[in-house]
Structure 1
Amino acid sequence: MIDLAKRVHDHTWKIDPVVRSLLDTDFYKLLMAQTVQKRHADVQVTFSLINRSKDVPLAKLIDEGELREQLDHVRTLRLSRGEVTWLRGNTFYGKQRMFTPEFIEWFEAFRMPPYHLERVEDQYELTFEGPWPDVMLWEVPALAILMELRSRAVLRHMGKLDLQVLYARAMTRVWEKIQALSALPNLRISDFGTRRRHGFLWQDWCVQAMIEGLGDRFTGTSNCLIALRREVEAIGTNAHELPMVYAALAEDDRALASSPYRVLENWQKDYDGNLLIILPDTYGSEVFLRRAPAWMSTWTGIRIDSGDPATGAENAIAWWKSNGQDPRGKLVIFSDGLDVDKITELYARFDGRVKLGFGWGTLLTNDFRGFAPDDGLKPFSLVCKAISANGSPTVKLSDNVAKAMGPDAEIARYKRVFNMETQQEAELIV
C-alpha cells in the first residue's frame, strides 16, 4: 500500500491528478448514461454545483487556477484500450455485455464537454451545459475534484509528522469500524464513497481495507476504476437525476404525476435482475409507493436514500405485502449518511425480514473528523445536480426537506401534484 503521508508531504500530490481516468466515476452514471444516450441524446441539460454547507468557503480554500487545472485535465482523458476491454467483456451483476456496442463506441469517442466556472464571494459557481449524456458525466469528477482540493488545501499546511499521525489515526478509525461490522454475519456492504471522498488514493485504501476485513461480505465498490484495479464488483443502479429530468420535461400536471413511473418503465426495458432497484424518494416515498403500479412490486428491491431509513424500510415491507410479495425475498439498500452505529441498528431491525444491502459513502471514505486544525477536514455536503432540462427547471422534494431543491413556485406545484403536504427535516450529514 502507498505511504500516503509521505506522498502528501513530498509531492503535495502534484504527481497525482484528482481524476485519473474516465472510469474514475460511479457505476450508476455509466448505466444511466447508456439509457440516456439511447433515449434522450438531444435533451439539453444544465448541471450545477451546489454547496449545502455554506460554512465551508470553497473559494477561499481552493485556488481558482488549481481548480481550473484539474477540470481541464479531466477534459484530456480518454478511455484506454484496457478500460474498453473491461467494459466490453466484464460480467456485471452476473450479466455479460451489460453495455451495448453502440454505447461502447460512443464512450470510446467521448470527450468531456466545456465547463463554466465563476467565483461568487466565497463560493464557486460551476456549471455544465449541453446534451444530457455528455454533461451528466461531469457530476462525479466535479465533486471529487472539489472535495480533494479542499483536502489538499488543509493538508498543505501540515508537517511530515503531523501527516503521519493524521493518516495513522484515520486508518485506525476505518479499521475499527470494519472490525465492528465484521460481527454482523449476514452483512452485505459496498463502498459508495466516490463523490465525497478525501481523495482517490484514500478511497482505494479504504476498499483494500474492506476486502481484507470483511471478505465476501464486502460486495464491491461504486467506483469503476477501483473495481477494475482491485477485481471487485462494480456496484450501482440509478439516481434521482432520471426522475428529475423526466419531470422537468413533462408537458402538464398529468404527465408530471406519471413521470417517475415512466422512468422505471424505460429502465425495465434496458435492464433486469438486481438492477431493478426502485429509488422512490425524489417526490416523496410514501406517495410514490401508494400510486405505484402493481408490476413494480415484482422488482428486486428498493434503495432508501433520505428521510428516516427505518420508516422507509417499514413502508416498503408493507407495500410489498399489500401486493402479495414476500419481503424476505426483496432487497432493501440503505445509502443515506451511514456509519457503523446506524448500519448496526438497521441490521438488527431488518436482518431476516428482508435481504439487506448497505451503500457506505462519505463516512467510510472521508471521515477525518477531529484530526485537522479547526476540524478543517470534517465532511460537508456538496452536490452537483441537474438544474434544468430543455430550459425548464428541475425540482427535487425528497423525504428530507434539507435535500429539496428547485424554484419556490415549482416546488409548490410539485407538492400539489404529488400530494406532499408535509416534509420532515432531518440532520443533513452529507
Structure 2
Amino acid sequence: MVDIATRFWNHKWKIDPIVRSLIDTDFYKLLMCQSVFRNKPDTQVQFSLINRSKHVRLADLVDEGELREQLDHVRSLSLTRGESTWMRGNTFYGKRQMFTPDFMDWFENLRLPPYHLEKRDGQYELTFEGSWPEVMLWEIPALAILMELRGRAVLGAMGRFELQVLYALAMTKLWQKVEKLQQHDGLRIADFGTRRRHSFLWQDWCVQAMNEGLGDRFVGTSNCLIAKNRDLEAIGTNAHELPMVYSALAESDDDLRQAPYDVLSDWHADHDGNLRIILPDTYGTQGFLDGAPDWLTSWTGIRVDSGDPATGAEMAINWWKSHGEDPKKKLVIFSDGLNEDKIIELQKQFADRCRVSFGWGTMLTNDFKGLVANDALAPFSLVCKAVEANGKPTVKLSDNPRKAMGPEAEIERYKRVFDVGHQVESEVEV
C-alpha cells in the first residue's frame, strides 16, 4: 500500500507523472475511439477545456510551466507492449478481441497531437485540433492534469505531517462511505472517477478500498490502467461526445433529428450485451425516447446522467413498458453527481423495478470537501468537450439546462428540432 503523503512530499514528477500511460483513461473512451476510427476517421474536431466553476481561477492557481510540462509528457507517451497485449488479448464484457487488429495497429503507433494553451481572465484556454480519433484521446488526460495540478497547488503549502493527517482524514472519510454501503445487499458500483480525480495514486487507493470493502458489489473501474494493474473489470460504454459530433455533421434539420439514432445504429453493429447501453439525455431524454426506433427497446439498458435521476429512471421504465419490454430485465445505470446517500436512496427506490447499477465519480475519487482551510480542495466542475466538427459548432442540451453548451442560436435551433420543452434547472457541482 502506497504512503501517498510521503510519496507527495518526496515526489519527483518524472517518477509520479500525473498521466503515466495512454491507457490511464476511461474505458469508454477507447471503445468510442475504435468506433470513430471505423466510422468517422476523417472528421476534423476541436476540443476545448470548459471550467463551469468560474470562481476557481485555475490560471492563478496552476503554474503554466508545470501544466505545459505535464501536457508535453502526455505527448511523449505510446502504448507499451504489456498494455497492447492486455488490450489485444483480454476479455472485456465477455468478449475476447474487443479491439480489432487494424485499430490496435493504429493505436500502437499513436502520439497525441499538439495542444494550444493561453491564459485569459484567470482561466486557461486549452484546445486541441485535428482528426477525431486522435484529438478525442486528449479529453481525460487534460482533465486529470488540471485537477491534480490544482490539488498540488493547495497541498504544496502543507508540511509533511499536515499531509499525513489530511490523507488519514480522507481515507477515513472514504472508508466510512464504504461501511455505509456495506449495509445494503444487491448493490453494483463501479469507479467512474478518472476525469476529476484528486490524483492517480489516490484513485488507485480508492479502487482498492472499494474492492476490499464491497467485494463483488464493486464491479470494476473505468480506468484502464488501474483495471489492468489490479486485475479488475474495465467498465464503460459510450458518452455524449458521439451524438454531439454526429449532430454537428448533419446537413439538415431532418438529418439532425436522426443523428443520435445513427450513432447507436453504428454502435449496434459493433457491440452487444451490456455494451448496448443508451445515453439518452444529450438533447433531452423524453424527446429521445419518444422518437426512438423500435429496435432500441431491445437494448440492455440506459444510463441516467443529468437531471433528476429518479425522473430519468421513471422515463426509461415507462418507455420499456409502453413497448412491451419487462423493466425488471433492463439495466439502469446512475452516474451523475452521486454520493453514498443518493446511491442508497436510488437503490431502495428502483431495485425491485429494474436492474440497478452505479458509476461513482468525483465524490469517490476527489472528496476532500471540508478537510482543508477555506475548502480549497472542494470538487469543482471542469469538462473538456468537442466544440466543433468539420468547422461546425457542437451543441449539448442535457436534461439540466445549466449543462447546456454551444452557441445560443444553435441551442435554440436544437431545442426546436428535438422539441425540448420546459426543463428544470439544478445546481452543477461536478
The two structures share one fold, judged by TM-score above 0.5: yes
The residue correspondences of 1:285-300 to structure 2 (distance < 5 A) are 285-300=285-300
Quote how far apart the aligned CAs of 1:429 are. 1.9
2:117 — aligned with what? Answer: 117
Secondary structure of the 2:302 match is strand
Partner of 1:377: 377
RMSD: 0.7
* Matching residue of 2:365: 365
Matches within 5 A, 1:336-351: 336-351=336-351
Take 1:81 and 1:264, find their aligned partners in 2: how far apart are those partners? 32
Scaled by the length of structure 1, the TM-score of the pair is: 0.99
Q: Which residue in the other structure is 2:107 paired with?
A: 107
In structure 2, the residue corresponding to 1:128 is in which secondary structure?
Answer: strand
1:114-151 Cα shifts (integer Å, max 9, x gaps): 00000112000000000000000000000000000000
**Match for residue 28 of structure 1?**
28
Instruction: Give the structure 2 partner of residue 202 of structure 1.
Output: 202
Q: Distance in 1 between matches of 2:68 and 2:136?
A: 19
Tell me how far 1:385 sits from its aligned partner: 0.1
1:13 Cα offset (Å)? 5.0
2:242 aligned partner = 242
Of 228-237 and 416-425, deviating more is: 416-425
**Aligned equivalents of 2:234 and 2:429: distance in 1?**
25
Quick one: which amino acid aligns to residue 228 of structure 1? K
Quick one: distance in 2 between partners of 1:235 and 1:273?
13
Give the residue type in structure 2 aligned to 1:222. Answer: S
Deviation at 1:293, TM superposition (A): 1.0
Amino acid at match of 2:153: A
* SS state at 1:45 partner: strand
3-state SS of paired residue (2:76): coil
Q: Who is 1:272 aligned against?
A: 272
Distance 1:46 1:124 in 2: 16
Question: Deviation digits for residues 91-129 of structure 1, max 9, x if unmatched?
Answer: 000110100001110100111000000011200000000
* C-alpha distance in 1 between matches for 2:160 and 2:402: 39
**CA-to-partner distance for each residue in 1:30-89, whole Å, 9 max, x for gaps?**
000001001111000000000000000000000000000000000000111000000000
Amino acid at match of 2:193: G
CA distance in 1, matches of 2:251, 2:291: 20
Residue in structure 2 matched with residue 151 of structure 1 by the alignment: 151
Q: CA deviation at 1:12?
A: 6.6
Rounded to whole Å, the distance in 2 between the matches of 1:296 and 1:154 is 47
Deviation at 1:15, TM superposition (A): 2.9
How far apart are 1:14 and its partner, in Å? 5.8
String of CA shifts for 1:254-292, please: whole Å, max 9, x gaps. Answer: 000011001000000011111000000000000000111
Distance 1:271 1:108 in 2: 22
Q: Provide the C-alpha distance between the structure 2 equivalents of 1:410 and 1:174, rounded to a whole number of angstroms.
A: 42
Q: 1:78 to 1:13 in 2, by over 3 A?
A: closer
Question: 3-state DSSP class of the match of 1:48?
Answer: strand
Alpha-carbon distance between aligned partners in 1 of 2:121 and 2:327, rounded to the nearest angstrom: 50
Q: Distance in 2 between matches of 1:121 and 1:307?
A: 30
Distance across 2 between alignment mates of 1:188 and 1:169: 26
Structure 1 runs of 4+ with >4 Å offset: none
User: Which SS does the other structure have where 1:387 is aligned?
Assistant: strand
Q: Distance in 2 between matches of 1:283 and 1:189?
A: 27
Aligned to 2:398: 398
In structure 2, the residue corresponding to 1:116 is in which secondary structure? Answer: strand
For 1:5 and 1:295, how far apart are their aligned partners in 2?
A: 52
Sort the Cα spacing of 1:4 and 1:208 in 2 relative to 1 into closer, same or farther, 3 A: same
Residue in structure 2 matched with residue 307 of structure 1 by the alignment:
307
User: Separation in 1 of the partners of 2:99 and 2:23?
Assistant: 14
Q: Which residue pairs with 1:233 in the alignment?
A: 233
Task: Report the counterpart of residue 127 of structure 2 in structure 1.
Answer: 127
SS in 2 for 1:75: helix
Q: Distance in 1 between matches of 2:135 and 2:399?
A: 27
Distance 2:111 2:401 in 1: 36
1:90 shift after superposition: 0.2
Q: For residues 67 and 422 of structure 1, what CA distance do their matches in structure 2 show?
A: 41
Q: Structure 1: where are the runs of 5+ without partners? A: none
| Alpha-carbon shift at residue 214 of structure 1 (Å) | 0.5
> Which structure 2 segments of 5+ residues have no match?
none
> Following TM superposition, by how much is the alpha carbon of 1:415 offset from its aligned partner in structure 2, in angstroms?
0.4
Distance in 1 between the 2:403 and 2:252 partners? 25
CA distance in 2, matches of 1:27, 1:111: 18
Deviations 1:16-35 (A, max 9, x none): 10000001000000000001
Q: What is the rounded CA distance, in whole Å, between the counterparts of 1:308 and 1:374 in structure 2?
A: 29
Q: Distance in 2 between matches of 1:131 and 1:14?
A: 29
Q: Shift of the alpha carbon at 1:421?
A: 2.1
CA distance in 1, matches of 2:13, 2:164: 15
Provide the rounded CA distance (Å) in 2 between the counterparts of 1:297 and 1:219. Answer: 25
Aligned residues: 430
**1:422 corresponding residue in structure 2:** 422
Partner of 2:260: 260
8 A contact 1:7–1:13 mirrored in 2: no
